[in-house]
Amino acid sequence: MAKIQKKRVLVVDDEYSNIIALMEILELEYDVYAEKNGRDAIEVAEKVMPDVILLDILMPEMNGYETLSRLKNSEKTRGIPVIFITGLCSVDDERKGLIMGAADYITKPFSPAIVELRIKNQIKMLEQLRTIEQISMTDQLTYMPNRRSFDARFNSEWERALREHTPISLLIMDADNFKIYNDTFGHMQGDVALQSFAQVIAGTLKRPGDFAARWGGEEFSVLLPNTDKNGALCVAEQVRKNIEDMIIPSNDEKAAKMTMSIGVNTKTDTESCTIEEFLLRTDKALYDAKKKGRNAVCYFGNDETL
């Protein structure tokens, strides 16, 4: 039976006695990390990604307000709820913290019941937000990542490729004659075909970093980080062949087979183009594959299809 992973809480307070008190309250239910200053807390937060941060306001060198500001200005940590732990109890202090993005306040001296309740409330809200985010990033028919999810991943991998001077490849694929298929066999059978495509495409990819998504309609995309032209063409041809060989579940034998056209493009470290240009070129390769007979793989700028 898999061990349930505890939620993580980071406690930040320059008073050792406060850290000890909070750890005694939390350590049975949570994995607790502790730091005594803001700079170290930010470093630990980026490393362990706690579910909640308990942050003292009055600390030397970097106070809680500045620490909170830096956490919220970091793309990596801005989504972590921060609860201020403080002896300050004026309305202005609370207002300032909430405006800056604090999720809640816990006043000193600590009440164990209040500490536990407020942390549980923040984790519950965080899990709800994560569920909503996951749903918004998933195609509800195929359960693949959707276009929104693809765009986020593509932007991240594009920046990494530029930073690390590595190639990045993209496949954009489109089911051949899908409108005719839909009109002939019905939209429910069309949905079955799309689900079959998703399974075959995802099953063809072997590396953890490769990323497949439903692009929209009958189009799909595959992002291949650190992959050159030859590697991308190899993956594309394998996807094409696997689609051609697949059997779509159907009561009609004629509805059991379909093919797919695939456009391929690679950006190397020596090439200069924007994301938008790269996408347009890949889409042009897909158009060329369609124009040259469908059920084909075409590389941008190459007149030959595979």
What is the set of active-site residues?
218
CA dihedral of 123, 128, 133, 139, whole degrees rounded to 10: 140
Contact 80, 53 (CB under 8 A): yes
For the chain, how many helices (H) and strands (E)? 10, 10
4 burial (CB, 10 Å; 0-12 / 13-18 / 19+) is exposed
Contact 286, 173 (CB under 8 A): yes
Q: Which ranges of the chain would DSSP assign to H, the alpha helix?
A: 16-26, 38-48, 64-73, 91-100, 112-136, 147-164, 178-185, 187-204, 229-245, 275-291
Contact 259, 243 (CB under 8 A): yes
User: Nearest CA to 266 among 303, 305, 232?
Assistant: 232
The DSSP call for residue 140 is T
User: Nearest CA to 81 among 25, 10, 135?
Assistant: 10
Contact 139, 214 (CB under 8 A): yes
Number of other residues whose CB lies within 10 A of the CB of residue 257: 15
Whether the bond between 167 and the residue before it is cis, its omega within 30 degrees of 0, is no
Contact 192, 248 (CB under 8 A): yes
Tell me the residue type at 238. Answer: Q
